[in-house]
Structure 1
Amino acid sequence: MTSRSKLPVTVYLLGATIFSLVTAEFMVAGMMPALAEAFSVSLAEVGNLIAFYALGMALGGPPVTVLLLARGISNKRALVGLLTLYIAAGALAAAAPSYPVLALARIVMGVASAACIGLCMTVCAAMVAREARGRAVSVVLAGLMLSPVAGVPMTAWIEHHYGWRASSWAVVALALICTAFAALRLPAGDGNETSLKRQWATLGNRSLWAAYLTSGLIIGATFAAFSYCTPILIDEVGVAPGMVAPLLALYGVANLLGNMVVGRYADSHTLTAVTWGLVMLMLALIGFALAGEQFWLNIACFIAIGLTGVALNPAMVARVMKAAESGPLVNTLHTSVITAGLALGSWGGGAAIEAGYGLRAPLWVGAGLALLGLLSVLRPLASSRTQSTCAQV
């Protein structure tokens, strides 16, 4: 049986771990009114809880990873330890007596989450052959794709029936299960598999930073549009409020399908997958911006964004792993750059609306970021094809 026919069960465990981490990040969106009432704060302050988590991911993950590398802690021990910290912070969030305590807990969860996601990518890469990394990563990242489809609705349902604290404890319980399985099933390492010195030297690789730049622009382009998709669908397209949730679920399914397709070609056609994905993303964003009152064209373009965007993650990760040795610092920095791209896209879309350019303005911001992403990958793609031609000669 070829290696393509199966992946280690632990790869799926890592996917479940990322599912729990990302669900915790975005679950606040599904219970904003309840949190606002519980802590007597505005909806904007509740929304900041997502930003605090993202801030912890973007700024806290890399320093924590550097510390772990400096102390020579193995990837498995580091992952289990950080998941334990994440569970403790999650428990503090679930039992938080005040808004400041909840905000602090969310920041700590974000720091631990960024380092955990980087370690999940590193452990995944070490468990499979190089030619299977893209496919394995697509399975791990399916946890990220499933979060908005299943995780956030699940936590919203629990909050509706049992309260927001019960929902928070449910995520803690899921993370606890994943941690227990990680401690029991992941292969042990004899010291950190990649030294801090080697990881630090890797960061001088220009190809790595080029890959980071493209990844940040892809996610920025996607979330410039997705962050404001609900008001666009309701006020511009004319979708009934009750139909937004099914459309978001359909968008999530498109993410999963795109992720599987990209994962299939991420190893063998990395730059080609990124390039054509960006072309499709840019055209979908422009089409959505220009669709006007054409209902089905609007919906088709919205779903097309789901087929690309975040679904390009396996190719983005494969490119980073080809540019540099797959280690915790390299992968955690990638996570931080992606988080920064998310923040940039969301901010840019909101700034365009505030400037008076209309609700569809974020779509043009996304299209502009996608164009920059496309430009960032054209030169590496041309170099890759030149090297391939020379090799054949």
Structure 2
Amino acid sequence: MPLVIYVLGLMIFSMTTSEFMVAGMMSSLSRDFGVSIAAVGYLISAYAAGMIIGGPLLTVGLYKVPRKKAFMVLAIVFFAGQTLGALAPNYEIMMVARVITGIASSACFGVSIALALTLVSSESGGRAASIVLGGLMVATAIGLPVAMLCDQYFGWRASFWAVDVLVLLSAILAQWLIPSSPSAESVSIWEEFKDFNNRHLWAAYTTSMLIIGAAFAAFSYFSPILTDVAGFGEQTVPLLLGIYGVATVIGNIITGRLADRYMMPILTTGLIMLTSALIIFGLLADHPVIVVMAVIVIGLAGVPMNPAMTTRVTRSSNAGSLVNTIHVSIINLGIVIGSSLGGFTIDQGFGLTSPLWVGVILAVLGLISLLPYLLKIRETEVQTGSRKQTCA
């Protein structure tokens, strides 16, 4: 893999750390801004909402801009939003900052994946995409725990400034390593719009939304569940989230290697594992050992399905920047649905573990969304077997 692929992954790591770290500093933000834990959860939703709505619009606006230049513009916009968040004097300004960074992050995801696919051979495209998306996994393994430690020892603003530094470093390296490109896309934007008239693409989008929604319904509230229900100390939570993050990295490595050949088995098996882990977590949230095991399984089977999800989308489309950005938006719609429904159930008095059951419902719906395709695969296998017997 060219070094530039890892630089793109570093940028995704930086942006994803910014997205996730709010989940690990809920108490600090709640205390400083004088709002509830559920209100801080909505900052996660605001970031995702920016990705859903603003990301595709910004991608369309930059469509005719060379990809390298588009990447740099998005890095600057994100840097500005992250700086505003670091300086935010109140909850309202922080909300604005989260929307800005979400918009830039969504478009950057799409441009980064499209860039990665053009910088390597077609045979290496899946691996390159998994490395870029690996930044998302590493953010949960390293970025989130480190951000939480910065919050505990230096305050939450230090975490925001640290991400700013990483974004700046990524942008400098990208400016140096990404080759100049004469045009933004190999197809017109109208060709990409035509590709959305494709039920298989939307089916892939739907499954992705439900998978990520299920995972983030739980993940968004891991911190208060681990401390207030499972009984872990605040100092232990970064370690547990680090373990979760390591599990996501391991899961991503496995699925990244297998996604091209075993896309549908990965999605099916992953959803079954995710559903089971969420049910066990919800039933036994006051048993620390069971909780740690459930967290590990959720880490292995939730977000790491991303390479398989991306493979399914690219096989159903032209894999351009807009298709990838819309996929990121759909994924973040899942984050909004999962985290918002989780916060809503807490506000309605169903308890801190209620988001886990929201995750169970979304994961089951994800499995149901795969049934037509699993049945179709089964029918194809039966027909193929019948032909072989007839020929024999």
Aligned to 1:320: 313
Shift of 1:338: 0.9
Shift of 1:27: 3.1
Q: Give the 3-state SS of the residue equivalent to 2:313 in structure 1.
A: helix
Deviation string 1:169-213 (CA, Å, 9 cap, x unpaired) is 322221111112212211332212232111101111111100000
1:151 equivalent to 2:152? Answer no
Q: Write out aligned runs for 1:141-220 (5 A).
A: 141-193=133-185, 194-220=187-213
Preserved CA contact (<8 Å) 2:218 2:355: yes
Aligned to 1:104: 96
Preserved CA contact (<8 Å) 2:212 2:302: yes
Structure 1: how far apart are the matches of 2:85 and 2:230? 37
Preserved CA contact (<8 Å) 1:134 1:265: no
Preserved CA contact (<8 Å) 2:44 2:336: no
Deviation string 1:365-393 (CA, Å, 9 cap, x unpaired) is 21221111111112223334555676796
Aligned to 2:115: 123
Aligned to 2:44: 50
Aligned to 2:22: 28
Structure 1: how far apart are the matches of 2:149 and 2:346? 31
Structure 1: how far apart are the matches of 2:254 and 2:204? 20
1:338 equivalent to 2:295? Answer no
Structure 1: how far apart are the matches of 2:289 and 2:28? 34
Q: For the structure 1 residues 384 and 282, does the alpha-carbon distance in structure 2 shift closer, same or farther, using more than 3 Å as the test?
A: same
Q: Write out aligned runs for 1:295-310 (5 A).
A: 295-310=288-303
Deviation string 1:279-302 (CA, Å, 9 cap, x unpaired) is 111122222233476543333222
Aligned to 1:13: 7
1:368 equivalent to 2:361? Answer yes
Determine which of 56, 60, 66 is the counterpart of 1:66: 60
Between 1:49-58 and 1:172-181, the stretch displaced more is 49-58
Q: For the structure 1 residues 81 and 242, does the alpha-carbon distance in structure 2 shift closer, same or farther, using more than 3 Å as the test?
A: closer
- What is the number of residues matched between the two proteins? 384
Preserved CA contact (<8 Å) 1:262 1:273: yes
Q: Give the 3-state SS of the residue equivalent to 2:236 in structure 1.
A: helix
Q: For the structure 1 residues 94 and 294, does the alpha-carbon distance in structure 2 shift closer, same or farther, using more than 3 Å as the test?
A: closer
Q: For the structure 1 residues 37 and 245, does the alpha-carbon distance in structure 2 shift closer, same or farther, using more than 3 Å as the test?
A: closer
Preserved CA contact (<8 Å) 2:279 2:357: yes
Structure 1: how far apart are the matches of 2:219 and 2:163? 24
Preserved CA contact (<8 Å) 1:272 1:381: no
Q: Write out aligned runs for 1:240-389 (5 A).
A: 240-291=233-284, 295-384=288-377, 386-387=379-380
Aligned to 1:4: none
Preserved CA contact (<8 Å) 1:132 1:267: no
Q: For the structure 1 residues 389 and 84, does the alpha-carbon distance in structure 2 shift closer, same or farther, using more than 3 Å as the test?
A: farther
Q: Write out aligned runs for 1:228-247 (5 A).
A: 228-247=221-240
Q: Give the 3-state SS of the residue equivalent to 2:62 in structure 1.
A: helix
- AA aligned to 1:25 is E
- AA aligned to 1:59 is I
Preserved CA contact (<8 Å) 1:275 1:378: no
Deviation string 1:63-104 (CA, Å, 9 cap, x unpaired) is 1111222xx212222111111222233333334455544433
Q: For the structure 1 residues 157 and 365, does the alpha-carbon distance in structure 2 shift closer, same or farther, using more than 3 Å as the test?
A: closer
Q: Gapped runs of 5+ residues in structure 2? A: none
Shift of 1:327: 0.9
Shift of 1:150: 1.8
Deviation string 1:226-275 (CA, Å, 9 cap, x unpaired) is 22333433444444444333222111111111111111111111111111
Q: For the structure 1 residues 348 and 99, does the alpha-carbon distance in structure 2 shift closer, same or farther, using more than 3 Å as the test?
A: closer
1:75 equivalent to 2:70? Answer no
Shift of 1:214: 0.2
Preserved CA contact (<8 Å) 1:273 1:315: yes
Q: For the structure 1 residues 224 and 30, does the alpha-carbon distance in structure 2 shift closer, same or farther, using more than 3 Å as the test?
A: closer
Q: For the structure 1 residues 95 and 224, does the alpha-carbon distance in structure 2 shift closer, same or farther, using more than 3 Å as the test?
A: closer
- AA aligned to 1:315 is A
Q: For the structure 1 residues 29 and 361, does the alpha-carbon distance in structure 2 shift closer, same or farther, using more than 3 Å as the test?
A: closer
Structure 2: how far apart are the matches of 1:358 and 1:37? 20
Q: For the structure 1 residues 294 and 139, does the alpha-carbon distance in structure 2 shift closer, same or farther, using more than 3 Å as the test?
A: same
Aligned to 1:92: 84
Q: Give the 3-state SS of the residue equivalent to 2:209 in structure 1.
A: helix
TM-score (norm 2): 0.88
Q: For the structure 1 residues 41 and 80, does the alpha-carbon distance in structure 2 shift closer, same or farther, using more than 3 Å as the test?
A: same
Between 1:216-225 and 1:352-361, the stretch displaced more is 352-361
Q: Gapped runs of 5+ residues in structure 1? A: 1-6
Q: Give the 3-state SS of the residue equivalent to 1:324 in structure 2.
A: coil
1:113 equivalent to 2:105? Answer yes
Percentage identity across paired residues of the two chains: 43
TM-score (norm 1): 0.88
Between 1:80-89 and 1:195-204, the stretch displaced more is 80-89
Shift of 1:24: 1.8
Between 1:127-136 and 1:255-264, the stretch displaced more is 127-136
